[in-house]
């Protein structure tokens, strides 16, 4: 079962799972079917279903929203995950949990390994890390996948936002002091499905390869979309002044995923080309 099936990653993951398993083997729920903040409801509903694998990707993902509403962040991302983990353990199910690069503080200066010590800078990162700890505490057979900078066809995302702003404005100011790897939800969904097929356990980092800043990413988005007339100005995170602090360098080392599966995640620029050509008309 997929918990969070109607979110940005959830819709792609449901598509991928439906193509590799028979339809009646996969069930996808979201908040309409089950609010993970409610312990009794989550336990009863999951236990009644008795899934073999619970893929938990539901979350409160608004990073600045979490900073302003710590209670909700922990109620959904930490306690909600505890409820799902408890139910999974009662069903003796495997549990897959999606986590984030924001469990790290960005001080390492080189790609993070799965066993590097987490040290979140913001409430979202703290709440997702607590979720990881609950999964490890309650579920014997668990797989935690940390990923980053997601975009895809089924959710509000940075790529669409840059293209929308390019249509509306002549100049954009984009942060140039955070480094990471933009990751296409279609590629991530395939990687999750492969890790499940391999019955992988423990923590894995999965993201598209190569790195960039939000500024260089936005330049690539505009270039590949044929937009030359928009001026992009690099700015600092401080100048942008968002409520939540972000790590300055949160690139994830994905070698463990490569060793386990024999697969390599493609560079973010190739994945971006694919996304733009599939879902966007060229702008001029």
CB 184 within 8 A of CB 217: no
User: Collapsing DSSP states into helix, strand and coil, what is residue 141?
Assistant: coil
Q: How far apart are the first and last CA of the chain?
A: 43
Q: CA torsion 73→76→77→78, rounded to 10°?
A: 100
Which member of 1, 14, 17, 36 binds ligand NAP (CB under 6 A)? 36
Spatial neighbors of 123 by CB under 8 A, at least 6 apart, are: 66, 67, 70, 73, 74, 244
Min. distance of Cβ 53 from ligand NAP in angstroms?
16
Return the number of the residue (135 or 227) whose C-beta is nearest ligand NAP: 135
Q: State which of positions 69-108 bind ligand NAP (CB under 6 A).
A: 76, 80, 98, 100
Return the number of the residue (200 or 230) whose C-beta is nearest ligand NAP: 200
Counting contacts by CB under 6 A, is residue 13 touching ligand NAP?
no
User: Of 277, 252, 3, 8, which is closest to residue 145 (Cα–Cα)?
Assistant: 252
Counting contacts by CB under 6 A, is residue 27 touching ligand NAP?
no
Which member of 2, 8, 26, 87 binds ligand NAP (CB under 6 A)? 8
Question: Which positions from 129 to 168 touch ligand NAP by CB under 6 A, shown as an x/- string?
Answer: ------------------xxxx----x-------------
Of 56-64, 111-119, 231-239, 262-270: span binding ligand NAP (CB under 6 A) = 56-64
Q: Is 71 exposed, middle or buried (0-12, 13-18, 19+ CB in 10 A)?
A: exposed
Residues known to be catalytic: 124
Rounded Cα distance, 158 and 164, in Å: 10
Say how many residues touch ligand NAP, by CB under 6 A.
26
Residue with tokens 């935690």: 144
Question: Which positions from 113 to 132 touch ligand NAP by CB under 6 A, shown as an x/- string?
Answer: ---------------x----
Rounded Cα distance, 40 and 72, in Å: 18
Rounded Cα distance, 122 and 60, in Å: 13
Which member of 1, 2, 9, 129 binds ligand NAP (CB under 6 A)? 9
Residues of this chain that interact with ligand NAP (CB under 6 A) are 4, 6-10, 30-31, 35-37, 57-61, 76, 80, 98, 100, 128, 147-150, 155
């Amino acid at each position: 079962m997929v918990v969070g099936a109607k979110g940005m990653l959830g819709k792609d993951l449901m598509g991928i799972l439906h193509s590799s398993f028979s339809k009646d083997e996969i069930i996808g729920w979201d908040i309409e079917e089950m609010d993970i903040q409610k312990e009794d409801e989550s336990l009863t509903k999951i236990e009644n279903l008795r899934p073999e694998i619970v893929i938990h990707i539901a979350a409160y993902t608004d990073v600045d929203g979490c900073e302003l509403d710590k209670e909700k962040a922990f109620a959904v991302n930490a306690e909600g995950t505890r409820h799902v983990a408890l139910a999974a353990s009662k069903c003796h199910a495997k549990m897959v949990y999606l986590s984030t690069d924001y469990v790290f503080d960005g001080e390492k200066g080189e790609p993070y390994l799965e066993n590097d010590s987490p040290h979140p800078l913001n409430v979202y990162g703290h709440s997702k890390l607590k979720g990881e700890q609950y999964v490890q505490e309650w579920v014997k057979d668990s797989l935690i996948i940390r990923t980053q900078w997601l975009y895809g066809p089924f959710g509000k995302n940075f790529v669409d936002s840059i293209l929308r702003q390019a249509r509306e404005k002549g100049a954009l100011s984009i942060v140039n002091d955070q480094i990471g790897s933009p990751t296409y939800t279609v590629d991530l969904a395939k990687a999750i499905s492969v890790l499940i097929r391999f019955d992988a356990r423990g923590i894995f980092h999965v993201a598209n390869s190569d790195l960039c800043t939000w500024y260089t990413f936005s330049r690539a988005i505009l270039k590949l979309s044929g937009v030359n007339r928009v001026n992009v100005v690099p700015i600092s995170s401080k100048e942008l002044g968002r409520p939540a602090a972000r790590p300055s360098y949160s690139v994830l080392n994905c070698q463990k995923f490569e060793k386990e599966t024999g697969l390599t995640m493609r560079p973010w620029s190739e994945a971006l080309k694919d996304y733009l050509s599939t879902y966007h008309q060229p702008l001029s």
